Amino acid sequence: ISIFLTYFFLPETVEKTKEKFSIKKVKILDKEPFKKYLFREETSSYLWQFFTYLLAHATWTSSFAVYGEMKLGFTARTTGYLLAYIGLISVILRMKIIPKLIDIWSEERLIFIGMSSIIFGLIMVPLFNSLPPILGFMTFFSLGTGISRPLLLAAISRKTSEKEQGAAMGVANSLGS
């Protein structure tokens, strides 16, 4: 559906040229957008926060299975359910709750709350050896991830001009890689 809607309803913004393709012109890594947006006052703090969020999230989700098995005796099934739980909370937050929270608090405050919640969850989980408290603190982590990611991306998008949003989002998503 996404491909169909994009093809038929999204207007083309790039002018086509008759220039021939040359492998010499292909840049594998163009450092200029990174320099431009990572050190620009308007986008810098949001991109660094986004990078920190992505690093914490990737580290957590990639190492939790080993941690859960070694320290807590979790099976692959239990770990899968816990990671699915994190994802489910994030989806519910993005669809239903964040728009209502923005009406109550500012996006800046919600980003702070989200990042604080991630940190709190990451600090607390290793202190316990049973599922109920771990599930509780994983809830803080998942609430934080569900709040932080969309609001940081929205802030990055808003802090760039319409013509630059693709490049800024490209930098943000490259940080995730």
What pLDDT shows up at residue 24?
Answer: 65
Instruction: Tell me which long-range contacts 106-113 makes (C-beta under 8 A, separation of at least 24).
Output: 107/151, 107/154, 107/155, 110/147, 110/151, 111/49, 111/147, 111/148, 111/151, 111/152, 111/155, 113/144, 113/147
What pLDDT shows up at residue 21?
Answer: 63
Per-residue pLDDT tens over the stretch 112-162: 999 999 999 999 988 988 888 988 998 998 889 888 888 999 999 999 888
What pLDDT shows up at residue 131?
Answer: 84
pTM of the full structure: 0.75
What pLDDT shows up at residue 82?
Answer: 87
Per-residue pLDDT tens over the stretch 9-57: 888 777 777 777 666 666 667 778 888 888 888 888 999 999 998 998 8
CB 56 within 8 A of CB 122: yes
Per-residue pLDDT tens over the stretch 50-107: 999 899 888 888 888 898 899 888 899 988 898 898 888 888 888 888 888 888 888 8
The more confidently predicted of residues 4 and 22 is: 4
Which of 97-125 are b and which e, b meaning 16 or more Cβ less than 10 Å from the residue's Cβ? ebeebeeeeebeebbebbbebbeebbebb
